[in-house]
Amino acid sequence: MSVTKKNITTRLYVISLMLIVVVFAVIFKLIDLQFFQGDHYINISEEREFKNIEIPANRGNIYSDSGKLLASSVPKYNIRFDALAPSQKNFEKYVDVLAAELSKYFDKPSEFYSNKLRQARQDKNRYLLIARNLGYLDYKKFKEFPLFNLGGYKGGLISEQYTKRDYPIGGIAQRTVGYERYDDFGNAMRPGLDGAFGPKYLKGENGIRFSQKIGLGQWKPVLDYNEKEPRDGYDLHTTLNIEIQDVAHHALLKQLEFYEAEHGSVVVMETKTGEIKAISNLGRTTEGKYYEKLNYAVGESHEPGSTFKLMAMVRALEDKVIDTSDIIDTKSGILSFYGRKVRDSKKGGYGKISAARAFEVSSNTALVQIINDNYKENPEKFVEGLFDMKINEPLGLPILGEGNPVFTHPSDKTNWDGLDLPWMAFGYGVSLTPLQTLTFYNAIANNGVMVKPRFINQVKQFDQVIEQFNTEIISESICSIETINVVKNMMKNVVEKKHGTAHNIYSKDFSMAGKTGTCQTEYWKSSGLYISSFAGYFPADKPKYSCIVVIHKPNKSKGYYGNVVAAPVFKEIAQKIYSEIPSVEIFNKDDFDWKSKSIDSKVLTQLENMIMPDLSNYELMDVIPLLENVGCKVLVEGYGNKIRQSVRAGSTINKGQTIKIKLI
C-alpha cells in the first residue's frame, strides 16, 4: 500500500470516529433533554410565550351630596405609528391623506406630518408618537384615519390605553376631593379623600388573565379556569355641596385677590350633622394667582387670636368666675406683664365696660383681666377646663395631615411661664387648625353637642350601600345650656350691635352670629404680618350652618382686621346660602316639633288638602321643606326676609307644580 493510500485511509478512520462521537453526543444530549432537563426548558419557553397579565380595576367615583360627579376614572389613549408595518404600496397610497387628516386635527401644515411619517419610515421607527392623552371619541376618530384604519399589522396603528383620574370641577376643593400626581418612581399619589379612602374602597381589586404571546408585543387571552375578573372600586358619596362649594370658593378668591393675601381657607359645616358642605384652600403663586396649594383648613395649626376669646369666655362663665354684667376697667387700653404689653385695638381703650360688652368689642385688656385675675392662683383649673371641652384633641379626620392642637400645660415647668395664662386669654400661645376652631363654634351653635366634621355619607356599589357614615359625637355637652345661651347672645351682638366688631356685615334681611379675630403672626420677623379671621353660624336663632374664614398676611395698607378682611366673606356665603340655596328637608309632620318652627296647624291642614297657604309671615327655611314635602317644586329669587308667593293663598296646588318665592 502506497504512503498516499495509507494517509487517506487514516484520515477516513479519524473522520468516521469523530462522526461516531458526534452522533453519540447528540444522542446523549437528546436523552438528557428528554428525561432530565426537559421540564426546565419547557418552563422557559412557557415563560416566554405565556404569562398572567394583570387587568387593572376601574377606580371608584367620588360624588357630591346631590350625586354630581367630583372624581372619575376615564380611559385615555396614546396613538403611535409603526412605520415599517405598512407595505410600500399602502404607505405611498395613504401617507399624504393621513397627513392631511392629522393636519386638520392638530391645525398644522400637512407637509409637516407627511415629512414626519416619511422620515419615520426611513429611520425604521416602529414607535413614533402621534398623539397622547386622547379621549375615547378622539381615539375612535384616529382609528378611522386613512392607513390607520387598516389596523396594526397593515396600517401600523399602535394604541396604548390607560386610565386617568378626571376631576370635573377642576381646581375647586382639589385639596379635599384629591388629585392625581406621581412620585419620582411613577407611583400614583392621591391626597385628600381620593387618597384617604382609596386603599379600602376606591381602588378595587385587579384581575388576572392567562395570555399567550402572538407577536408584535401583543398577547391573546387563552382559556384558563384560574383567571380572575377585576372588581371595580366602590363609589364615595361625599357631604360636599357643589353650589355651596362654588359660592365659598369664589367669595374667598375675590377677597384674597383684593387684599393680596398670602393664602386663606374657608369651611362651611352643617350644624346638626357635622357634614362639611364646602371647604376651600387657596394659596398665592409668585405670579399673584391663587390655586388649591395646601389643605390649610385641615393641616395648618396656628395661633387663632381673638376667635379663641369664645373658648376663654365659655370657660370663665362655666366656672362662674365672671358674670356678663360684671364691670372691667380696660385701663386706657394697655396692660403690662413682665415687660410685655397687651393693647386694645381702640386707642385709649374702652373705659369701664361689662364682660359681655368686652366680648362684643373684642377688648384684649378686658379678657386678659377676666382670665388672669381669676385663674392666676390656679392656672391648671383654666387649662384643664379647656381640655374638658375637647379642644386640645385632634379631630381624627380621615384626610391625612391634620395639624395637632398646641397647648402648654402649667405642669410643664420648662415651657410654662407667667405670660402663658394672660396671653392664652386672647388667643396667643395656643394653636388650632381652622377646622378645629370651627368644630368648637359649631358645638355652640348645636347647643353644646360637639360633632365630628364629616366628609363622607356613604360608600356604594351601584345602588347597594357598602358602608354608611353617620354623625359622630365628640362630646354630648361641652358646657351647660345656660352658658351656651349667654355666649350665643353675645355672638349675635357682635354682628347686630352698633359697636360690635362685625357690625359692618349686619343685614336686616338675615341673621348671623360670630366672632372676629385679628392675630399677629411671625411677629419675630415683622410687626406687619396678620391673620384675619371670622367664625360663626347662621341663622343666629336657628343655626343651620357654621362657617370659618381665615386669611393669612393680607396687605396691611389695604386692611388687616378680621371684620374687614374675613367677615365679608362669611356674609357673602351666608347671604347666598340663605337666599339662593335653601336646604330642602323631607320629614313627617308627626315626628316634627312644629311649634318650635312657628308653623300654624292651619297651614299644615291646608297643605295636606293641597291648598296653598299664606306664607308671608314665615321664614324661607321653614316653608321650603313644607312645599317640597307635598311634591311641589320651589324656585327662589331675590334677597330679603319677606316672602312674596306666586300662587295666591287659598288656590289649589298639584304635585309637581312649580311655586316661585320672591324675597323682598
Q: Give me the pLDDT at residue 594, please.
A: 33
233 and 246 together in one domain: no
pLDDT tens for each residue of 455-474: 999 999 888 999 999 999 99
- Name the residue with higher pLDDT: 635 or 647: 647
Residue 280: inside a domain: yes
pLDDT tens for each residue of 358-380: 999 999 999 999 999 999 999 99
What band does 228 get if pLDDT is binned at 50, 70 and 90?
confident
Q: Give me the pLDDT at residue 400, please.
A: 83
Q: What percent of the chain has pLDDT over 70?
A: 84
- Among 8-22, 156-170, 403-417, 561-575, name the one with the lowest average pLDDT: 8-22
- Name the residue with higher pLDDT: 165 or 575: 575
Is the pLDDT assigned to residue 40 strictly greater than 80? Answer: no
262 and 354 together in one domain: yes
Residue 26: inside a domain: no
281 and 342 together in one domain: yes
pLDDT tens for each residue of 589-638: 333 333 333 456 677 778 778 888 888 877 665 676 677 667 787 777 66
What band does 199 get if pLDDT is binned at 50, 70 and 90?
confident
Q: What H or E segment, with its residue span, contains residue 549?
A: strand 545-552
**Bridge partners, 611 (sequence order):** 652
Among positive and negative, which fits the CA dihedral 196, 199, 200, 206? positive
In terms of residue numbers, what domain contains 139? 62-237
Q: What H or E segment, with its residue span, contains residue 603?
A: helix 601-608
Q: Give me the pLDDT at residue 658, please.
A: 86
Return phi, psi of residue 298, to 5°. -95, -40
Average of per-residue pLDDT across 16-37: 70
Nearest to 448 by CA among 317, 301, 594: 317
What band does 582 get if pLDDT is binned at 50, 70 and 90?
very low
Burial class, 181, CB count within 10 angstroms (exposed 0-12 / middle 13-18 / buried 19+): exposed
Residue 630: inside a domain: yes
What's 150's domain CATH number?
A: 3.90.1310
134 and 184 together in one domain: yes
Residue 50: inside a domain: no
pLDDT tens for each residue of 3-13: 566 666 777 77
Top-ranked range on mean pLDDT: pick from 3-17, 337-351, 543-557? 543-557
Residue 27: inside a domain: no
**For all residues of the chain together, what is the average pLDDT?**
85
**Bridge partners, 228 (sequence order):** 208
407 and 447 together in one domain: yes
Q: What percent of the chain has pLDDT over 90?
A: 54
Top-ranked range on mean pLDDT: pick from 72-76, 160-164, 426-430, 603-607? 426-430
251 and 213 together in one domain: no
Residue ending a domain, choose from 533, 554, 580 = 580
Residue 16: inside a domain: no
263 and 191 together in one domain: no
Residue ending a domain, choose from 580, 601, 629 = 580
Q: Could you give the CA distance from residue 360 to residue 353 in angstroms, rounded to a whole number?
A: 11
628 and 536 together in one domain: no
283 and 183 together in one domain: no
Q: Give me the pLDDT at residue 605, please.
A: 75
Q: Could you give the CA distance from residue 74 to residue 163 in angstroms, rounded to a whole number?
A: 6
**Number of domains, the chain:** 3
178 and 127 together in one domain: yes
Q: Give me the pLDDT at residue 362, please.
A: 95
**Count of CB atoms within 10 A of residue 343's CB?**
13
Find where cell 432537563 sits: 37
Query: What is the pTM for the complete model shown?
Result: 0.72
Q: Could you give the CA distance from residue 433 to residue 49 in angstroms, rounded to a whole number?
A: 57
Q: What string of DSSP letters covers 217-237?
A: TEEEE---TT-B--BPPPEEE
229 and 246 together in one domain: no
Is the pLDDT assigned to residue 200 strictly greater than 90? Answer: no
pLDDT tens for each residue of 61-113: 888 898 888 888 777 889 999 999 899 999 999 999 999 999 999 999 999 99
Residue 194: inside a domain: yes
What's 650's domain CATH number?
A: 3.30.10.20
Using DSSP bridges, classify how beta strands 157-166 and 188-189 pair: parallel, antiparallel or unpaired.
Answer: unpaired
Return phi, psi of residue 199, to 5°. -60, -40
> In Å, what is the CA distance from 664 to each residue of 636, 640, 642, 649?
11, 5, 5, 18
